[in-house]
Structure 1
Amino acid sequence: MSEDVRASKSADYLALDHYLSAIDTGKSPAAENTPAGDGEWGVLKVSAVQEGWFQSRENKVIRNAVHIHPRFEVRPGDLLMTRANTEVLVGLACIAETPSPRLMLSDKTLRLVVNEEVADSAFVALALLRPATRNQVRAMATGTSAGMKNISQRQIRRLMVPRASLEQQRRIVAVHAAFERRIGALEQVLSKLDVAREALSAQALGGQGEGWPLRPLDEVAAVAAGVTLGSEPVGEGTIELPYLRVANVLDGRIDTAEVKSVRILRAQRERFALRKGDLLLTEGGDLDKLGRGAVWDGRIDVCLYQNHVFRVRCGARMLPDFLALYTSSTEGRAYFQRVGKQTTNLASINSTQVKKMPVPVPPIEEQERLLSPIHSVRSRISVVERHIAKLRVVQQGAVEDLLGGKTKTLSQRQVAPTR
């Protein structure tokens, strides 16, 4: 690297310590693993600090008053940062805009006190979340035997962040806030559509009192478990393909942001390959999340599924979306919770219990009629979700350009509402 390039980089960046007047750390007293209620004190979990937002509910209640230290209470507007977490999450930062009262910093959660004469807290938070800074954190963090990563206060102070005057900082924060207002408005629309979808779903299943027959699930669908991991075959007769884990199967949707691969015998491909319209249900997890699932839309050409996920392939008498509607209903969840086997930390169901699940079987024409308005609302939800996702990408790009000094203005078109 030339001296000119080094000088340029030095001029554009400075150590985070330049923007700070102090770093506060708290304590981690004995606490119960349940959130504090009204009037109670709680200590933050590291999960309270998310990527750019604060989650007050992520705390543990402190029962012993001796362990309560009001000087460590999280205040509105505090800039918080985790000093210990997994490799992906260590060093995350956010502004606690409106934290619940009586929440204490833990020894794994730091309060970065910004020098207001030279820095805006919101700007520092944005600078800490940019990819270049996150890469620095990951490079500096040290590991532990439990898989956790740590970053010290000294290392945090040495993080290189963009140099900007207060005026420039506030302009960047204003751009980010403009996007947040637009995205927030769309999220409110999304929330209303979700309420409508839930109401239509409940209304659709209300017809059970009209004499719909109840049949065991395996009479109207085929239930099967997927690939068992841990002993992958090798050789010419094998093939490596993507597969869905429990983590990919969420309540009402499939998340393919991170899909892993597994090697199987080529002859097993048809046995474990998903088809568009297959309903996927999870085998284990928290008791209230047993049997969560969604219908596979075929977005990956050839995709398998693991053995802790059940594939339910409907026959001619049942539409996958109608079955998914029922398994996620109050009645469906109640069945899974009733038959699920509870252990100390997890609950689980087996394929026999899934196959025996009694499900309503109205005529196909009736299923289609009931699903029609739900599909309409889901379509509108998808449009709004895609627009929010696009705005997030544009927001990230615009803010990153400003942080890098590439642009000085923001086109109104970038945050204009959808027509």
Structure 2
Amino acid sequence: MSEHIRASDSAGYVALDHYLRGIDTGKSPMAENTPAGDGEWGVLKVSAVQEGWFRSSENKVIRDAAHIQPRFEVRPGDLIMTRANTEALVGLACIADAPPPRLMLSDKTLRLVVDKDVADPVFVALALLCPATRNQVRAVATGTSAGMKNISQRQIRGLRVPRASLEQQRKIVAVHAAFERRIGALEKILGKLEVTEKALCAEALNRSQEAGWRTSALSEVATVAAGVTLGSEPVGDGTVELPYLRVANVLDGRIDTADVKTVRILRSQYERYALREGDLLLTEGGDLDKLGRGAVWDGRIDECLHQNHVFRLRCGNRMLSEFLALYTSSAQGRAYFQRVGKQTTNLASINSSQVKRMPVPVPPIAEQESLLVPIRATRRRAQAVESQIAKLRTVQRGACEDLLAGRVTTPRP
């Protein structure tokens, strides 16, 4: 592969409209907040469009056949863009590589119809993700009272993107694809490690039935606390502004601190809401199948709090938080949360009393430690692979940005 690929001989830019034949807008019919199953139609959520990749599972099932409009179906290779989202995510674009059938565009997702005589859709997607374009999107997007941002079709068509011949575009796409193959191989390894971890976790919990370990209410082995309530914040002397974790930060098996907000509290309330390394965090509400999702806090942020919609479980000397997390995230644990959870039209929730009453197996501490040894080893291997993937993504992003900007370096993956 050439070491001197340039996105443009003159480092020029053109309006995005130069590369398009048109823009299709979808519809948002009445739908249930659960993904479509086999043979069912679904409508895309804006969360289906990620930074450079397509998450087809982010959709809502359409029950009423009258609302199904096949002309809005997402097709393989479509370039999809969000029209409305938060400031950080509005205008994101990705290629729908292999979407399942019967997925419709919503009115907040657009299909950019690329003129393939002058542009490669993957090149256009890369151009839309580069920092210069993202900055343009943030500059022109308009806000709403709900904190959402919108970008119009006219503004999208006017975005300035790198000018490149079709041959140059294909060379840039080839560099991107080379990284994707290497990353894909690592993701397959990561997938196998995740399967191994799940099997080890299931085996550990099965031992509780075989060994006849005592079962106790969760409140007997851990304290359960709700976090700080947002709203009227104190001011003046004796207050402090600190980061806090909200439901969006607490995922299934991991804590995401990419976007952490802050809240002001009385310094005297700090211990009441503070997190310690080893605390297990569980979410109070969400979709029924996501109730009680959570992870163990690793203390990566000093003086961090948690919101009232996130329960903090702090184990005593009879239970390791990692072992408790195995149970709360297991099929048995999830079944308990779904059984006691309160279901409303769109959401479900659990309260602290229900969490405290949850029956949990309590093996001896030495047995918990022994069962966690292979699980921890597998997680360390998975973290190492995740680190490799993250590094490759960083290099890939830098290489593509250099090429799109007309610089000459083309690092290999």
1:117 maps to amino acid:
D
1:214 is aligned to 2:194: no
1:130-172: per-residue Cα shift (whole Å, max 9, x none)?
1211221222223345544332222211110011222221121
1:193-243: per-residue Cα shift (whole Å, max 9, x none)?
000000000000111221211112222222222222222222221222211
Greater Cα offset, 370-379 or 58-67: 58-67
SS at match of 1:271: helix
User: Normalising to structure 2: TM-score of the pair?
Assistant: 0.90
SS at match of 2:138: helix
SS at match of 1:258: coil
Matches within 5 A, 1:63-212: 70-209=70-209, 210-212=211-213
Paired with 1:212 and 1:340, the residues of 2 have a C-alpha distance of 26
Greater Cα offset, 306-315 or 365-374: 306-315
1:333 maps to amino acid:
R
Paired with 2:12 and 2:78, the residues of 1 have a C-alpha distance of 26
Query: 1:401, CA displacement in angstroms?
Result: 0.9
Paired with 2:357 and 2:201, the residues of 1 have a C-alpha distance of 23
Paired with 2:285 and 2:117, the residues of 1 have a C-alpha distance of 52
Q: Paired residue for 2:364?
A: 363
Query: 1:23, CA displacement in angstroms?
Result: 2.7
Paired with 2:310 and 2:230, the residues of 1 have a C-alpha distance of 12
Identical pairs, percent:
79
SS at match of 1:239: strand
SS at match of 2:95: strand
2:79 maps to amino acid:
L
User: Normalising to structure 1: TM-score of the pair?
Assistant: 0.89
1:31-69: per-residue Cα shift (whole Å, max 9, x none)?
565555555555444443332222334445556666655
SS at match of 1:52: coil
Greater Cα offset, 55-64 or 295-304: 55-64
Segments of structure 2 that go 5 or more residues without pairing to the other structure are 1-7
Q: Paired residue for 2:12?
A: 12
Q: Paired residue for 2:278?
A: 277
Kindly name which structure, 1 or 2, has the bigger radius of gyration based on alpha carbons. Answer: 1
Greater Cα offset, 252-261 or 100-109: 100-109
Q: Paired residue for 2:306?
A: 305
Matches within 5 A, 1:323-362: 323-362=324-363
Paired with 1:67 and 1:308, the residues of 2 have a C-alpha distance of 35
Query: 1:302, CA displacement in angstroms?
Result: 1.5
SS at match of 2:275: coil
Greater Cα offset, 257-266 or 178-187: 257-266
Paired with 2:69 and 2:223, the residues of 1 have a C-alpha distance of 57
1:240-278: per-residue Cα shift (whole Å, max 9, x none)?
221111211111111111111122222222232211111
Q: 1:199 to 1:175 in 2, by over 3 A?
A: same
Q: 1:59 to 1:361 in 2, by over 3 A?
A: closer
Paired with 1:61 and 1:29, the residues of 2 have a C-alpha distance of 10
1:366 maps to amino acid:
E
- How many residues are paired up? 405
Q: 1:156 to 1:330 in 2, by over 3 A?
A: same
Query: 1:92, CA displacement in angstroms?
Result: 1.9
1:251 is aligned to 2:261: no
SS at match of 1:243: strand
Query: 1:14, CA displacement in angstroms?
Result: 1.3
Q: 1:238 to 1:16 in 2, by over 3 A?
A: same
SS at match of 1:344: coil
Greater Cα offset, 72-81 or 359-368: 72-81
SS at match of 2:243: strand
Query: 1:29, CA displacement in angstroms?
Result: 5.0
Q: Paired residue for 1:4?
A: none
Query: 1:180, CA displacement in angstroms?
Result: 0.8
RMSD: 2.5
Paired with 2:33 and 2:272, the residues of 1 have a C-alpha distance of 42
Paired with 2:61 and 2:273, the residues of 1 have a C-alpha distance of 45
